[in-house]
Structure 1
Amino acid sequence: MAHRQAQRRSSIHDVASRAGVSAATVSKVLAGVTTVKPENAQRVFDAVEHLGYRVDPLASDMRRAKRRIIGAIMPEFESEFFGQMVSELEGLAEQRGYTLVAASSRESEAREKEVLARMHDWRVAGVVLAPVRNEHGPAAGFMKANGMTGVLIDRVLADDAFDTVSADSAAASAEVARELIGKGHRHILVIGLGQQAATVRARLDGFRAKALELVPDVRIDVVLSESEVEPLRALLHDYFDKGAKRGERPTAVYSLFLKGTLVALSEFRRRGWHCPDDISLVGFDDAEWMQVTWPAIAAVVQPVRQIAAQAMDVLFARIDGGDGPPKARLEPCKVLMRESVGSPGSGPHSGGGNRQ
């Protein structure tokens, strides 16, 4: 049986031989050095095209000790926010001639550190890390201990070791409070995950501070779940049942995370409540289903593109040798008050008027 010989990958020396120049000249042309004679540069480009030559990143980067690879670690890929974030980071990395390698921590700090250690073994040039909880987690500690170049995004505040870029969650939540208070809501339920996440603290504190500033006697109930869907569903069910026995319930719900918005809406529908006639709903983070359902769900829209662009600008500035103390950047969000928000009193909000 005949065996076909595998085609040998063209080398920089093959390009140099065909173009009639030195390998050093080929390297300069491919690196964008403009001092090479135009005719020689054109011969190099013609040889590259004819031979189908591609730079071997492993061979070239081993000489530089760092590869042209950027690592990105996200808590998960299922949400539109993190999915779009990876897509934006990938495009920005490729614009600079780098390849993005993305991985999910699956909301586990142990896995987050493990993935980061592998990226360190690969000698990535830099890392964009969206930590599971905050800037003080084990992965950020590993980056600092091993002298890695990186930027922290999303669930972070300021840090003394790394630049941070995140949405201005506190200001956005303050705007939500202003909108709900302005429509007459005086009993509001806030739901979210455990307060260990920096963004949850910022969102809750921003909302509470503005609401109390506007109406000091406003009632703000808080239901937090340490994990996501099922525990929160049980907590909400219990919360509303207890309120029904006392003949009371909130006139509005503000969810601090996307899945919480869906859980709240599901609980409303199970009880036969309709937005905004019976109860208003606002969610932090936007998704396509929130825009196309009826009524459309009011949402805080995070600036994904701006966060990605700022993160990559900062990261490559550090890769290129930029120094100075780390900076914390906050990107403004948009608050879209859609049809799920109305004024209390248009439905059976008070006095035990729950429709089961």
Structure 2
Amino acid sequence: MAQHKGQQRRSSIHDVASHAGVSAATVSKVLAGVTTVKPENAQRVLDAVERLGYRVDPLASDMRRAKRRIIGAIMPEFESEFFGQMVTELEGLAEQRGYTLVAASSRESEAREKEILARMHDWRVAGVVLAPVRNEHGPAADFMKANGMTGVLIDRVLSDDAFDTVSADSAAASAEVARMLVGKGHSHILVIGLAEQAATVRARLEGFRSQALALNPSVRIDVITSEVSVEPLRSSLRDYFGQGERPTAVYSLLLKGTLVALSEFRRRGWHCPDDISLVGFDDAEWMQVTWPAIAAVVQPVRRIASEAMNLLFRRVEGAVGPPTARLEPCQVLERESVGSPGSGPHSGGGDRQ
């Protein structure tokens, strides 16, 4: 096709090589994520790519490769800050290597998760980062294995015999929360979350329970879980408090549960930390700016994304060997919502039905 007058010519890999003072082969290696290129040369290539606005030609790439320069990402949902930030991080990391990220939400449905994965397989994506609805043994992971797809499993996973996995060290983080609450004298604690089938939910619950009981064998730990929807959790929590149960602290295993608990406290006129303490797994901006600020377990989103992409591109480039299981440490932030057991609800004040 003839180039129209005034139309800017698309920069080529040779233009990038010329600007960076390296060979076209070196540019190709840098964009493919090969780590053997000298750091100073790699940086010159990346600078030239940005300066020229260079983009890999996907059609030309497809003619040389059976798979396209596309990375798929499937998350359970996009509403939470955790998964939203995860997609943002993965997208940037993919683009640094000359790939395009295509992200989709399974909407907490394993059937939809498998359907999306099948479409990505049809697109011949180079690899997939999958955050499964429940765990590493779901239908999507089975589909990937059966079709020889390259992938990394993140978040709601522990380890797998076929794929590399990267997730937050939920058990260790929950153990730290237990040390914080029991150390402040809490002996009746409510833990709330979604269905216990999810691998991370089990890890968070067991990490908390085992550490709390080790510190105080007589500590009472109540557990309320519901399925994917938050509304059953809200209803169960309301019934629990309505029956006269009065824990001195609540540990929520998910972000939405933290908001549900705080809403119920306010409906009853309870204040943190005087009447009841609150800790949530996952952090959000509203938890930092509300008063009192809500104590939180902060997941290492950037680190998980970086490790996942490093592992994925190693496999894309042909690395073999047994899968690795990475657990990245979390940070527990003790904020104003946590204190020693108070006397608010136990004195009968401020409890509204």
Q: Is the TM-score greater than 0.5?
A: yes
**Counterpart for residue 137 of structure 1:** 138
**Counterpart for residue 77 of structure 1:** 78
Which shifted more, 126-135 or 57-66?
57-66
**Counterpart for residue 222 of structure 1:** 223
- 1:264 aligned residue (261, 264, 269): 261
- 8 A contact 2:224–2:237 mirrored in 1: yes
Amino acid at match of 1:191: I
Asked if residue 172 in structure 1 is aligned to residue 173 in structure 2, the reply is yes
Distance 2:78 2:266 in 1: 28
Asked if residue 106 in structure 1 is aligned to residue 103 in structure 2, the reply is no
1:231-310 maps to which residues of 2 (within 5 A)?
Answer: 231-242=232-243, 244=244, 248-310=245-307
**Counterpart for residue 88 of structure 1:** 89
Distance 2:297 2:142 in 1: 31
Distance 1:173 1:296 in 2: 19
Asked if residue 341 in structure 1 is aligned to residue 342 in structure 2, the reply is no
**Counterpart for residue 313 of structure 2:** 316
1:328 positional shift: 0.6
Distance 1:9 1:118, change over 3 A: farther
Which shifted more, 94-103 or 261-270?
94-103
Which shifted more, 298-307 or 62-71?
62-71
- 2:28 aligned residue (22, 28, 31): 31
SS in 1 for 2:346: coil
Distance 1:158 1:15, change over 3 A: closer
1:325 positional shift: 0.4
Higher radius of gyration, 1 or 2: 1
SS in 2 for 1:267: helix
SS in 1 for 2:296: strand
Amino acid at match of 1:233: R
Distance 1:9 1:171, change over 3 A: same
SS in 2 for 1:350: helix
- 8 A contact 1:228–1:259 mirrored in 2: no
Distance 1:103 1:70 in 2: 11
Distance 1:15 1:153, change over 3 A: closer
Amino acid at match of 1:350: H
- 8 A contact 1:228–1:260 mirrored in 2: no
Distance 1:290 1:62, change over 3 A: same
- 8 A contact 1:73–1:102 mirrored in 2: yes
TM-score between both structures, scaled by the size of structure 2:
0.86
1:97 positional shift: 1.2
Q: Deviation per CA, 1:277-331, whole angstroms, max 9, x where unpaired?
A: 1000000000000000000000000000110010011011111111110111000
Distance 1:271 1:53, change over 3 A: closer
Equivalent pairs: percent with the same residue? 78
**Counterpart for residue 45 of structure 2:** none
Amino acid at match of 1:175: E
**Counterpart for residue 42 of structure 1:** none
Unaligned runs of 5+ in 1: 19-25, 35-44
1:340 positional shift: 0.3
Distance 2:200 2:8 in 1: 49
- 8 A contact 1:10–1:53 mirrored in 2: no
- 8 A contact 2:164–2:324 mirrored in 1: yes
TM-score between both structures, scaled by the size of structure 1:
0.85
SS in 2 for 1:113: helix
Unaligned runs of 5+ in 2: 16-22, 31-36, 38-47
1:178 positional shift: 0.4
Amino acid at match of 2:314: A
- Total equivalences in the alignment: 324
1:6 positional shift: 9.0
- 8 A contact 2:297–2:330 mirrored in 1: yes
Amino acid at match of 1:223: I
1:30 positional shift: 5.8
**Structure 1 residue ranges, 4+ long, deviating more than 6 angstroms after superposition:** 8-12
Root-mean-square deviation (Å): 2.6
**Counterpart for residue 19 of structure 2:** none
1:350 positional shift: 2.8
